[in-house]
A and B are shown apart, each in its own frame.
Chain A
Amino acid sequence: MTTLTHLQRLEAESIQIFREAFSESERPVMLYSVGKDSTVMLHLAMKAFAPSKLPFPLLHVDTTWKFQAMYEFRDRVVRDNGLELIEYHNPECIEKDINPFDHGTSLHVDLWKTEGLKQAVEKYGFDLGFGGARRDEEKSRAKERVFSLRSAQHRWDPKQQRPELWHLYNARKAPGESVRVFPLSNWTELDIWQYIYSEQIPIVPLYFSAPRPVVKRDGLWIMVDDERMRLEPGEEPEIRNVRFRTLGCYPLTGAIESDATTLPEIIREMLITTTSERMGRTVDHESAGSLEKKKQEGHF
């Protein structure tokens, strides 16, 4: 008898979800955000359809404020794997030069990402989007479905969510409605890292420690990634050995001081670390239950 390891089981389940969702949709797309969860999700998707090529495009709803290293990594992944990438920028944000400094975190994220995603879904007529959310990220995610129905207005109605039994997923929807599918639902942060390690999946170098120019703001190390970074009076960038536990827009993403330059060291740090994952993202700090609220409004 063969005993499957927990990673083999998680992998097989995610693949089953990919194939099921793809078979029951007209125009699927994968929401790709370049981070480690997206990277694992993409790796699983390629496994699900091999030897065929990935039968749907990636959609990157960009804010223009990501780390340079993320754009470089993204373009290399797309090129090396022969993928189709759709990059979307909310034209209203470009026109009004929406940025985290003048407009605040909440509006910045809302317009670029939440609004941008809605626009992209409508423009391309996607009826199903794969997302990399996990149930262990936050208390309110613990009861999220694998297949999550969104109304024609992109809203998540908790009352309309369907019971999910066995491995049977109901992907049916009325015209205009869409489905978000989360193949990583049952993965934990440790599973993700463990899988990256055992499958030797390349990730954005920002996850590894390196000397980087940073300033300290509200207790977080913020990296000065390009000349658009606005320094407060008296702020002087300093070089520190830092790395990121989560990636987003650089002015909004806190780094931690660390000397971990290899995957085992990262995992080791993570295992004995003291803060949970979303602490590094300022968006969650603004109001309690803000993730839940964002989800109802159509954020991933």
Chain B
Amino acid sequence: MPHVHDELLAVGIETYLERQEHKSMLRFITCGSVDDGKSTLIGRLLYDSKLVFEDHLATLEVDSKKVGTQGGELDFALLVDGLAAEREQGITIDVAYRFFSTERSKFIVADTPGHEQYTRNMVTGASTADLAVVLIDARKGVLTQTRRHSYLVSLLGIRHVVLAVNKIDLVDYSQEVFEQIESDYREFASQIGLNDVTCIPMSALAGDNITEVGSNMPWYQGVPLITHLENVKVDNELQSLPFRMPVQWVNRPDLDFRGFSGQIAGGTVQPGDSVRILPSGRTTTVERIVTYDGDLEEAVAGQSVTITLADEVDVSRGDVIATSLAPPGVADQFEAHIVWMDDQGMLPGRPYLLKIGARTVSATLAQPKYKVNVNTLEHVAARTLELNEIGVCNINLDRPIPFDPYDENRDMGGFILIDRFTNATVAAGLLHFALRRSDNVHWQAIEVDKHAHSLQKGQKPCVVWFTGLSGSGKSTIANIVEQKLLEQGRHTYLLDGDNVRHGLNKDLGFTDADRVENIRRVSEVSGLMVDAGLIVLVSFISPFAAERRMARERVEDGEFIEVYVKTPIEVAEERDPKGLYLKARRGELANFTGIDSPYEAPESPELIVDTTSLPPEAAADTIIGHLRERGFID
């Protein structure tokens, strides 16, 4: 850390600390592979400008001699790599964050090593970066991977790009080579909307143009990398946006104080400003901006504060406080870019949780309009998205949310999707625009409603959902239940594979995505029939817990009775009434539940019917008894 020593000696510690207080901060991401010298560059930045402690340095010296690639010279890549070891330990190699600082600035570098999982990792690292350093090997020029990295940079809304033309020493510091690469890159960058591009020729290994210009490229008129990074200002852009603050927490220490705590996602705010609460749309005035260190006269984007309002308006976690001069939109249907991040592919129609700002809602995705080939940027037709794929989809929420397009404000338009059962973060999304304004959406008032229908039929409608393996006896039992109900004068309808698969759903196969869509339609139909006042019996394998839950949520609480028809697979296979197991075992039937497609047994069904101990007739009686107990029939 030569500069620290010099500065300390020159000015003394007190002055040094004083200067440190005014440091700014920049987050950037480095894009490129080890071959481009990325690890060497990061190692060099850490070494040249931050604290590389002596014991780390000693390790570095030893390792450089042992496994280094620089003939015993310091191999800076070793400061950051250690990846081989990680791979051996089976640890996910994803985003590593490195820190270094100069006299003027602190830097947080998102380092995304490796080629596998590249899209997921780079998108993660890019989501918080203000700037991207795109590395190019001067000997190779603009490659496919350069385009891929740059596309992701532009997708994630990073406005500042440094094109680091590295290994310039290996092309004899040639101005001609550099200028050719610069012009190739600029042409491509402008096509994808990257306009603020700074190109710097450098050698991370030799140290040219990293912290100092040096004498090897007298033709280069610009500043070295570090100086450029120190001069990038990001506060300006965020503060010039309209004021937005997602409310994280309602702060109520006592009855006299009611504040709303959050981090400002855009713009500035002062007491007296007129604000609107979204999605409710109520307007009021900012009274105070409260912090632990006292009230503020003004707060700006990036600060975490607590705001009190002049009026007693209803505000809760997830709401957005915004300037009333330019409030965000509110909607429940969007077009969005989706980056899929989970091993299990996207299932159109399945409800996922969507988290945006401090709000979590339920969301379903339509089949992608297309996916993007990240190497060629071509649009390709797709029915689903797999790990590391990027596509554009329509997305439907269960209630309206306040938002800004991602391009305008990342925190107001970026979201994650969470699987409701594994709780994994399965995707990242970027909202572009609303498909319709939600204030235009209202259900058509139907005077003859469910209540009227059920009064007319003298029964309480419900869905009795039979789930279980093929051959478990679902349909047999459901048929008996329907007969018995009919005998008692009930109005019923039985939905099963026979009457749905051949008509309504004849366009669907047996892939996971098709199974989800199959059940979505059946849920929808059964929901409509419940509105019509019917007792609906549904008999489908319905192997996935998520879809059964979707069906449950389609109707009101208490209207859904899940019956798990439980039969061990050996017994079902033994019965094999339609000869399907035999076919599946012979490999003539793909995606057969229980054989090569999973069955997720219900965790807490209303009823479990074990067909190894209960004959169909008795099973049907159990179900009728349950309906009576619950008051659906008398």
Contact = CB atoms under 8 A, between A and B. Distances in A.
A164 B259 CA distance: 28
B125 to A, nearest CB: 9
Contacts of A125: none
Interface stretch (B88-96, B179-187, B279-287, B514-522): B88-96
Interface in B77-127: 82, 85-86, 89-99, 101, 105-106, 108, 111, 120, 123-124, 127
Contacts of B53: 273-276
Interface string B265-286: 0001000000000000000000
A49 interface: yes
Nearest to B95: A143
Contacts of A275: 53-55
Contacts of A287: none
B255 to A, nearest CB: 13
Interface residues of A, number: 70
B233 interface: yes
Interface string B347-368: 0000001011010000000000
A124 interface: no
Contacts of A166: 127-128, 410-411, 414
B249 A279 contact: no
Interface stretch (B132-140, B290-298, B376-384): B290-298
A217 interface: no
Contact of B248 (A19, A265, A273): A19
A158 B91 contact: yes
B232 interface: no
Please indicate which of the listed interface residues A165, A264, A274 has the most CB atoms of chain B within 10 Å of its own CB.
A165
B292 A47 contact: yes
Contacts of A264: 13-14, 17
Interface stretch (A28-36, A89-97, A114-122, A189-197): A189-197
Nearest to A4: B302
A48 interface: yes
B25 interface: yes
A47 B251 CA distance: 12
Interface string A143-186: 10000000000000011111111111010111000000000011
Nearest to A191: B106
B97 A51 contact: no
B23 A6 contact: yes
Contacts of A167: 128, 263, 411
Interface in B212-249: 233, 235-236, 239, 248-249
A264 B94 CA distance: 37
A275 B56 CA distance: 8
Nearest to B14: A264
Contact of B418 (A1, A6, A170, A190): A170
A216 interface: no
A276 B577 CA distance: 71
A53 B253 contact: yes
A7 to B, nearest CB: 7
Interface string B1-28: 1001100100001101100111111000
B51 interface: yes
Contacts of B291: 47, 50
A261 interface: no
A194 B291 CA distance: 20
B593 to A, nearest CB: 24
Contact of A267 (B17, B128, B252, B423): B17
Nearest to B303: A12
Nearest to A43: B292
A9 B106 CA distance: 11
Contacts of A160: 424
A52 B300 contact: no
A15 B263 contact: yes
Interface in A27-70: 46-53
Contacts of B292: 46-47, 50-51
Given A5-B24, A51-B290, A163 B124 contact: yes
A157 to B, nearest CB: 10
Interface string B422-435: 01110010000000
A87 interface: no
Contacts of A136: 99
A275 B98 CA distance: 19
B201 interface: no
Interface string B382-424: 0000000000000000000000000000110011101000011
Interface string A255-269: 000000000110110
A164 B300 contact: no
Nearest to A170: B425
Contact of B304 (A22, A48, A189): A48
A139 interface: yes
Contacts of A16: 248, 262-263, 304
B57 to A, nearest CB: 9
A167 B253 CA distance: 26
B94 A163 contact: yes
Nearest to A162: B425
A49 B306 CA distance: 9
A212 to B, nearest CB: 24
Contact of B249 (A11, A22, A198): A22
A52 B303 contact: no
A197 B233 CA distance: 26
Given A6-B23, A275-B53, A168 B416 contact: yes
B229 to A, nearest CB: 13
A198 B5 CA distance: 21
A3 B231 CA distance: 13
B97 A143 contact: yes
A271 B8 contact: yes
B253 A51 contact: yes
Nearest to A169: B355
Contacts of B99: 135-136, 186, 188
Contacts of B106: 6, 188, 191
B249 A174 contact: no
A6 B25 contact: yes
Contacts of B554: none
Given A47-B291, A166-B127, A265-B13, A19 B249 contact: yes
Contacts of B418: 170, 172
Nearest to A134: B99
A52 B24 contact: no
Contacts of B268: 2
A109 to B, nearest CB: 21
A186 B97 contact: yes
B235 A2 contact: yes
Contacts of B127: 165-166
In the complex, the 10 A-B pairs of residues with the closest C-beta atoms, listed nearest first: A276-B53, A6-B25, A15-B304, A50-B292, A6-B106, A47-B292, A52-B253, A165-B127, A274-B54, A142-B96
9 contacts: A7-B21, A53-B253, A143-B94, A165-B124, A165-B414, A166-B410, A271-B4, A271-B8, A273-B53
Given A12-B303, A48-B304, A161-B92, 9 more contacts: A5-B23, A6-B105, A47-B291, A47-B293, A50-B291, A143-B93, A160-B424, A166-B128, A271-B8
Interface of B: 1, 4-5, 8, 13-14, 16-17, 20-25, 51, 53-56, 82, 85-86, 89-99, 101, 105-106, 108, 111, 120, 123-124, 127-128, 233, 235-236, 239, 248-249, 251-253, 257, 259, 261-263, 268, 290-293, 298, 300, 302-304, 306, 317, 341, 353, 355-356, 358, 410-411, 414-416, 418, 423-425, 428
Interface of A: 1-13, 15-16, 19-20, 22-23, 46-53, 135-136, 139-140, 142-143, 158-168, 170, 172-174, 185-186, 188-191, 194, 197-198, 264-265, 267-268, 271-276, 279, 289, 292
